A and B are shown apart, each in its own frame.
Chain A
Amino acid sequence: MTLEAYADTIVPGEKRHPDDHAIAGVSEGPGSVEAGAIELLETEATGITAGLDFLVPMLNGHAKAYAEEHGRDLDPSLPEFVALSYEDRVQLILKLTKNGHPEKDGWVSLALFCNMAFDSAPHLSTAQALADGHPGLRAMGITTPDADGLWRFPNYSYGRKLAEVHPDTTPSGSPA
């Protein structure tokens, strides 16, 4: 649930049900969690899977300290980071990923993969992900490939001169 809350702060989505605490529900349409962030983070090829067991308690520890510092009362039935509001989650992630933070590498890696779950879905074959309606790829408007799984765009150019060429262009087409 803690990792879902982190992923939902990077690319937020709609709550899956009224009691959904991990997803803050600040954005319309599915976000990183529904795009498969947890599945991607648990894909061993990412290289961060083994570190998740350490990152989760660390994140909740930082959330607890943040809450104490800022006078927030947290729901004791939830992991501390999940109990934070979206705005507070944002502020904490900004602090953890700031230059000079000793744990920056770990939190940035986590953010990179949470974002990638939405924008490129590297835990799935892209053509299949599109065919299955992957929410991130679909939200971005990525088109489907040809029947052989390859993309081709026969129309690609406005097909006319659109600017004057620099006067100091050499016969090879390079700058002088």
Chain B
Amino acid sequence: MTSDKTEVLIVGSGFGGAIAAYHLAAGGAKVTVLERGPWLETKDFDHDFLLGSSYTRAFDFVVGDGMSVLGGNCVGGGSVVYFAAMPRAPRFVFERHGSIGRRMWPAEISRDTLDPWYDRVAEAIPVTQQDWNDVTYSGGLWAAACHHSGRTANPTPVAIDNAKCTNCNWMMGGCRFDAKRSMLTNYLPAAISHGATIRPLHEVQKIERTHDGGYRVHYNIVDDVDYRVHSESGVIEAKIVILAAGAGATPVILQRSEEALGKMPHGVGRYFSGNGERLNTAILNEDKVREVLGLSREDGLAYEANQIGKGPTVACWDRLDEKLPEYSRYSMEQLYFPPGLGTILAQVPGGDAPTWFGKEKKEILKRWRSWLTIFLMTEDDNEGVFGPPPPTGNAFRVSQQMLGRGALKYDPTPNTLSGWAKADAEVKEIMEKDGLATIAPWTNDVVGAYTVHPLASCRIGDDAATSALHPNHELRDHPGIFVTDGSAVPGALTVNPAMTIAALAERAVPGIVKAAQNRGIDVKYGAPSPDGSISGRRGVTKLALSLAGD
């Protein structure tokens, strides 16, 4: 067993880990990042479904009881496999009550107080608006369908360099053309240039306290090809630990550490949210697309463009209305979902059982190019709970890569079911109007509900009974341990969460720097954006002083 020391140890290298790593390294701390997945470079991002290609190496699919989670598993984490949609959460989200009967976000966080941190992220990554020329055929079709039924539709803000994007639609396995702005293109190289060390294929098992008030982190080294194989183990000691392993893994590490660290706050591994997500598959009538919507491509086709694009480009935000009651607000976004683990969950619209397999299902597979997927993000009830942790990692790994069985239990409440049903009904109304398409939601019967945006399994809050973290992201009763990933977000956001996860991580950094200083680490807050820009820093100067308690 190898043993080592660092000042700040970060678990995970996605948005939460990379942002913290950059600021702390740039501020002068010795930073080490442990990442359980491989370190893939641009040339490694394949256009290939072959087992063992980047498509299976870079992400994880964990089947739970009632909920399955798709997440990143590589240096850069979720940012390498995400679809780069970066909207800010609507104002009402921060006022939500959810399952606790009162405001679930900390009193000091609102859209107004988070906006300067959103600005920092938008400058650093950077995030830009798209115009209608950037919108793909599928996004354009969704916009036209929304307009046809009297609704608005927005090109979404994204973290994509459109000049480099080839609309290949392989972005889920990493971007071969460096068009997608993942953490590999901004925060992580900047962190490395300031001396941060990143160790791939290091899967953290548990944390224990050292005699001097620091922490000792135990890890296994994962085989580069067969993730079921762990060859060695080791420990590393640190004064500050930042957990950013993702909402499907951070609480599991803490659960496994409870025996050594002492009792965990009640909120660890509870209040998990799937961001209320639903996927609907519309099978388009190409003639109606031409006749009703007046759409046609350069090559004369009306649509048949399911394979073409770059993830979500258009969303309908008509239901993000703060005047509507909770659980009836949602966004409806066009999304490409590749074949493989998703296609099986598409159901035959209007069919009798079986609808997810069998001869009728094969007939809709033959019309795959005419599919349009609509992604719904609703308000769920934070009803997910993690069971006992598996012996290693966050799941019993089934396949060499990608597929595992986890201990997450998710039993949707009537509130969540009602929100899902409302959103499903509206998208059906839009897509079936005047015979444009037939549509059905993905089945939850096969692998449970399905989220690509796991949240809230160690959430921040003002109340010790319903949150795992103080509003500054420090783990309750365990000073020196912080959580900065999606697990800190209190609840569903009704939009894609990466922008909010990143803004919260930016906001958490001044407090972490202060805690590091108090533990004798020579570190300062105040780095510019990774590319040297400074307007974002200027915008948060006063807020940062306040968060550091100065």
**Distance in Å from the Cβ of B306 to the closest Cβ of chain A?**
9
Report how far A154 CA is from B308 CA in the complex, Å: 10
Is residue B234 contacting chain A, with contact meaning CB distance below 8 A?
no
Is residue A139 contacting chain B, with contact meaning CB distance below 8 A?
yes
Interface contact A175-B495, CB-CB below 8 Å: yes
Identify the stretch in B97-105, B258-266, B356-364 within 8 Å (CB) of chain A at 4 or more residues: B356-364
Contacts of B401 in A (CB 8 A): 45
What does the 1/0 interface line of B36-79 toward A look like (CB < 8 Å)?
00000000000111111000100000010000000000000000
> Which residues of B from 478 to 515 have beta carbons under 8 Å from A?
495, 499
Interface contact B168-A151, CB-CB below 8 Å: yes
Interface contact A162-B132, CB-CB below 8 Å: yes
**Distance in Å from the Cβ of B270 to the closest Cβ of chain A?**
23
Interface contact B344-A157, CB-CB below 8 Å: no
Is residue B147 contacting chain A, with contact meaning CB distance below 8 A?
yes
Is residue B136 contacting chain A, with contact meaning CB distance below 8 A?
yes
Interface contact B403-A97, CB-CB below 8 Å: no
What does the 1/0 interface line of B138-173 toward A look like (CB < 8 Å)?
001101101100011111110000000011111000
Is residue A102 contacting chain B, with contact meaning CB distance below 8 A?
no
Identify the stretch in A57-65, A67-75, A76-84, A110-118 within 8 Å (CB) of chain B at 4 or more residues: A110-118
Contacts of B118 in A (CB 8 A): 172, 174
Is residue B110 contacting chain A, with contact meaning CB distance below 8 A?
no
Interface contact A94-B50, CB-CB below 8 Å: no
Among B133, B169, B318, the residue within 8 A (CB) of A166 is: B318
Interface contact B137-A157, CB-CB below 8 Å: yes
Interface contact B157-A172, CB-CB below 8 Å: yes
A-B pair number, CB within 8 angstroms: 232
Interface contact A122-B47, CB-CB below 8 Å: no
Among B87, B168, B398, the residue within 8 A (CB) of A47 is: B398
What does the 1/0 interface line of B333-372 toward A look like (CB < 8 Å)?
0000011110110000000011001110111011011000
Given contacts A45-B400, A126-B48, A174-B88, contact A166 B299 (CB under 8 A): no
**Distance in Å from the Cβ of A4 to the closest Cβ of chain B?**
15
Interface contact A112-B344, CB-CB below 8 Å: yes
Contacts of A141 in B (CB 8 A): 304, 307, 366, 368-369
Contacts of B314 in A (CB 8 A): 163
Interface residue count for A (Cβ, 8 Å)? 72
Is residue B135 contacting chain A, with contact meaning CB distance below 8 A?
yes
Residue among B51, B146, B151 with most chain A CB within 10 A: B51
> Which residues of A from 137 to 172 have beta carbons under 8 Å from B?
139-143, 145, 149-170, 172
**Distance in Å from the Cβ of A56 to the closest Cβ of chain B?**
18
Residue among A11, A86, A116, A172 with most chain B CB within 10 A: A172
Given contacts A143-B307, A151-B168, A156-B136, contact A108 B297 (CB under 8 A): no
Contacts of B310 in A (CB 8 A): 156
Contacts of A167 in B (CB 8 A): 152
Interface contact B155-A151, CB-CB below 8 Å: no
Contacts of B304 in A (CB 8 A): 141
Is residue B547 contacting chain A, with contact meaning CB distance below 8 A?
no
Instruction: Give 28 pairs: A residue, B residue, CB < 8 Å, sorted on A.
Output: A11-B361, A47-B399, A90-B358, A99-B445, A119-B343, A119-B365, A120-B49, A122-B49, A122-B340, A141-B369, A145-B47, A149-B47, A150-B47, A151-B47, A155-B298, A156-B137, A156-B305, A162-B132, A162-B144, A163-B143, A165-B153, A166-B152, A169-B317, A172-B157, A174-B118, A174-B157, A175-B87, A176-B90
Chain A residues engaging chain B, CB cutoff 8 angstroms: 9-12, 26-27, 29, 31, 43-48, 86, 90, 93-94, 97-99, 105, 108-109, 111-112, 115-116, 118-127, 136, 139-143, 145, 149-170, 172-176
Interface contacts beyond A153-B168, A160-B132: sample of 20 additional A-B pairs, CB < 8 Å, sorted by A: A45-B400, A46-B51, A47-B228, A97-B445, A111-B344, A119-B368, A120-B49, A123-B50, A123-B51, A136-B365, A150-B47, A151-B307, A156-B137, A156-B310, A157-B134, A163-B144, A172-B118, A172-B122, A174-B87, A174-B90
